[in-house]
Amino acid sequence: MPLSYRELTQPAAEPVTLEQAKAQCRVDFPDDDDLIRAYITAARQYVEQFTGRNIFNRQMEMTLDYFPWPGWETTTGSSSDSYLGWYFRGLSIRIPKPGTASIDEISYISDAGETVVIDPSKYNADLVVEPARVMPAPGYTWPYQNQYIPGQVKIKFTSGTYGDGVEEKNCPQTIVLAILLLVNHFYNNRGATTIEAAMKTLPLGVAELLSGEMFLTVS
C-alpha cells in the first residue's frame, strides 16, 4: 500500500541550547548566534534522518489510499502463524516514524465525499512497540471504501521519542554530543568542500554515538 507522511508542526525546543553550542564552538560573542541556531536545527535534522526517529514531539500526518484488510497486501504470514494472528496483523496500521507519543485523529473520505473522523473508542493503539500499531477495537472494522481516492485516509499522530523538549526532556547525551560535534563541524567548515589534505572522523564520532539510537525496521 502506498504510504506517505509529513510534518505538520516543528518541535518546541532543540536538544542542544545555544549556550551549549557556543561553548562547543568556543564562541564568546553574539554576532554568530543566528548562524549557530541554524546549525543546531540542521544538526538535529541530520541526526533524525540518520537514526530514522524524531527526537522531540511534533505532530505529523500519515496518508493511506485505503484502510488495510487481511489478504490485500503481497506479504503473507508464515506457515506457523495462526489464522487469527495473520488476520489481525493484516488489519494493523503501522505508524512510520518512532517513537509515537499519541494517535491524535483518524479520518477518511466516505463514498458520499464527506470527511469522517473515527471515534477514538473505535480503535486501539500500541505505542510501546516500534513502529507503533493501530488496530480496530473489538467489534469494529475499518470502513470499506468503494471509491479509490489517493490519500483518502489520514492519520494525525504525535511523533517524538524523548518527550516534548520542554516539560519532558529525555534526550540521551550521546545524541546531544553528536549534535554538538556536527554544529562544531558546520561552524568551522562553511563550504561544501575543504582544502584539507585528509579529513578523518573521530574514533567515537557521530555515527558511533548514534548507532544505539537507530530505528531498525522489522517485517
Give me the amino acid identity at 31: D
pLDDT by residue (tens digit) across 59-68?
999 999 999 8
Residue, of 90 and 168, whose pLDDT is higher: 168
Average pLDDT, the chain: 86
Residue, of 34 and 82, whose pLDDT is higher: 34
pLDDT by residue (tens digit) across 92-106?
999 988 889 999 999
Could you tell me the pLDDT band of residue 74, with boundaries at 50, 70 and 90? Answer: very low
Strand arrangement of the beta sheet that strand 93-94 belongs to: 93-94, 133-136, 123-126
Give me the residue spans of the domains in the chain. Answer: 13-55+165-213, 58-159
Residue 14 has pLDDT above 60, yes or no: yes
Q: What is the mean pLDDT of residues 67-91?
A: 62
Q: What is the pTM of this model?
A: 0.81
pLDDT by residue (tens digit) across 167-185?
999 999 999 999 999 999 9
> For residues 122 and 167, what is the distance between their CA atoms, to the nearest angstrom?
30
CB 105 within 8 A of CB 155: yes
Is CATH 1.10.3230.30 the right assignment for the domain spanning 13-55+165-213? yes
Residue 3 has pLDDT above 80, yes or no: no
For residue 171, what are the contacts with CB-CB under 8 A and spacing of at least 6? 15, 55, 56, 162, 163, 165
Residue 217 has pLDDT above 90, yes or no: no
Inter-axis angle of helices 18-25 and 173-188, to 10 degrees? 60
pLDDT by residue (tens digit) across 105-160?
999 999 889 999 999 999 999 999 888 999 999 989 999 888 888 999 999 999 99
CB 185 within 8 A of CB 127: no
Phi and psi angles of residue 61, each rounded to the nearest 5 degrees, phi first = -130, 125
Residue 191 has pLDDT above 90, yes or no: no
